[in-house]
Amino acid sequence: MEFDSTRISNMDRRYRAHLINSLSGFRSANLIGSKSLNGEENLAVFNSVCHIGAHPPLMGFILRPLTVSRNTYDNIIESGFFTINHIHQSFIKEAHHTSAKYPESVSEFEKSGLNSHYEEGFYAPYVKESSIRIGLKFEESVLIRANDTRMIVGKVQNIHISDELLNDDGWLDLSKAGTVAISNLDTYYKAELIDRLAYARPDEKVESLLKK
Amino acid sequence: MEFDSTRISNMDRRYRAHLINSLSGFRSANLIGSKSLNGEENLAVFNSVCHIGAHPPLMGFILRPLTVSRNTYDNIIESGFFTINHIHQSFIKEAHHTSAKYPESVSEFEKSGLNSHYEEGFYAPYVKESSIRIGLKFEESVLIRANDTRMIVGKVQNIHISDELLNDDGWLDLSKAGTVAISNLDTYYKAELIDRLAYARPDEKVESLLKK
């Protein structure tokens, strides 16, 4: 099946949203926790969290145009802090529920059935049910002019992970964690390990790092 | 296990790279194809391709600082075009091999064993083996000042997909396609569908869209 620009712009709006949202491949599945200076907690599912750099440790996520109320954005800007929490298979429906449009004063923690968890000295709430939780400090809001979208960049301040997920060389076993992947906007997948591959060198065959 | 900023910055460089690269969750797995104005083809594996918007249809990827030669970047800037091609389970080693450091004049197509494919009227090469192939026009290079990384944004010009992957509502079945996900920098996963969930509404239970 072939689609050119004309066909893409003439598509039914929902059909195009589904198709274009499928194109990038599998996406990360995270809950972003934040709190306003008034103390109102917010929790929202995001499928756009990405790695920006390891040193300094930076992560980002894409925020849609600020034409409607964006609690997550407002809280991050005013408080300076947020958390990223992996979504595991055991609570995908609860996580997905945080995308429902509640008034600003309502906490998605209460409505979704997920629990907030605080660490001493860190302002934003984590998700108790998540076994990979990251606390970040707001670093930069980068405007993507092509569609007035923003990439919000945070610097990792702290990491909380269940001991059994951490391998000797720092690598986390996301499959063991039950962390899910998303495709499109609404489809959740579990991941099954195929292989871990060695650093690729010119004119050498790529080898597996796993004992088979 | 708990890590604070001090512990993170004092980590062994490789350990930190593995850990921080694991934090965002599962990542997309794509090959980016490009061609210099001299006609030299380039193919490179990327785990940072992301969705930016559906209308206009925009996709982006993160490029590390331009302190070393970046063929993909140079080709995109000078020619104005590139392709994004899904990596499927059947060719993960070939795809991973494109990360080997070859001189600029060498085509990773030849070295990896993957084949280039051209469509009439489009400058950049696609990957023949991929069943989800997208042609893009360079739109914007967005600087992330926090670490001098760039988000390269392209506008979708055309989409080529195997018919059996396209559902009635525009949604692509990435699991059927054998599209893989990546965690960390080197670990490849296949995805197994858990559920597709309905649009979430306040105070309503989230329902599955799949017939069970």
Indicate the pLDDT class of residue A84, thresholds 50, 70 and 90.
very high
- Nearest CA to A47 out of A12, A99, A91 is that of A99
Using DSSP, state whether B98 is helix, strand or coil. coil
Question: What residues of A are in contact with residue B193 (Cβ under 8 Å)?
Answer: 187-189
Between CA B46 and CA B61 the distance in angstroms is 8
- Nearest CA to A140 out of A38, A68, A61 is that of A61
Strand partners, B117: B126
- DSSP state at residue B122: -
Between CA B100 and CA A115 the distance in angstroms is 45
Question: What residues of A are in contact with residue B1 (Cβ under 8 Å)?
Answer: 159-163, 166
The yes-or-no verdict on residue A212 having pLDDT over 70 is no
The CA dihedral of B65, B66, B70, B75, to the nearest 10 degrees, is 120
Question: What residues of A are in contact with residue B149 (Cβ under 8 Å)?
Answer: 52-53, 58
Looking at the partner chain, which of A1, A57, A206 has a beta carbon nearest the beta carbon of B97? Answer: A206
The yes-or-no verdict on residue B77 having pLDDT over 80 is yes
The yes-or-no verdict on residue A4 having pLDDT over 90 is yes
Query: pLDDT tens for residues A96-130?
Result: 999 999 888 899 999 999 999 999 999 999 999 99
Looking at the partner chain, which of A58, A145, A189 has a beta carbon nearest the beta carbon of B140? Answer: A145
* DSSP result, A157-196: EEEEE-GGGB-TTS-B-HHHHTB-EEETTTEEEEEEEEEE
Q: Are B89 and A194 inside 8 Å of each other by CB?
A: yes
The yes-or-no verdict on residue B21 having pLDDT over 70 is yes
Hey, what are B76's tokens? Answer: 């995109």
Average pLDDT over residues B101-121: 93
First-residue to last-residue Cα distance in chain A: 39
Between CA A47 and CA A183 the distance in angstroms is 9
- Which chain A residue shows the shortest CA-CA distance from B50? A24
Alpha helices (H) along A23-132: 71-79, 92-97, 108-112
Question: ipTM of this model?
Answer: 0.95
Q: Are B192 and A187 inside 8 Å of each other by CB?
A: no
Q: How far is CA A199 from CA A195, B83, B93, B104, B179, in A?
A: 13, 24, 11, 19, 21
Q: Are A1 and B175 inside 8 Å of each other by CB?
A: no
Q: Are A25 and B134 inside 8 Å of each other by CB?
A: no
Q: How far is CA A167 from the centre of its chain?
A: 22
The yes-or-no verdict on residue B112 having pLDDT over 80 is yes
- In contact, B187 and A181? CB cutoff 8 Å: no
Question: What residues of B are in contact with residue A201 (Cβ under 8 Å)?
Answer: 100-101
Looking at the partner chain, which of A15, A48, A183 has a beta carbon nearest the beta carbon of B169? Answer: A15
Query: pLDDT tens for residues B50-71?
Result: 999 999 999 999 998 766 667 8
Q: Are B172 and A23 inside 8 Å of each other by CB?
A: yes
Hey, what are B65's tokens? Answer: 């600082």
Query: pLDDT tens for residues B23-58?
Result: 999 999 999 999 999 999 999 999 999 999 999 999
Query: pLDDT tens for residues A23-82?
Result: 999 999 999 999 999 999 999 999 999 999 999 999 999 998 766 667 899 999 999 999
Rounded to a whole number of angstroms, the distance from the CA of B115 to the nearest CA of chain A is: 17
**Residue A56 preceded by cis peptide, ω within 30:** yes
Using DSSP, state whether B24 is helix, strand or coil. coil
**What's the number of CA atoms in the CB half-sphere (13 Å) around residue B176?**
11
Hey, what are A115's tokens? Answer: 């629990």
- Is the sign of the CA dihedral A136, A141, A146, A147 positive or negative? positive
The CA dihedral of B31, B33, B72, A25, to the nearest 10 degrees, is -30
The yes-or-no verdict on residue A14 having pLDDT over 80 is yes
Q: Are B111 and A203 inside 8 Å of each other by CB?
A: yes
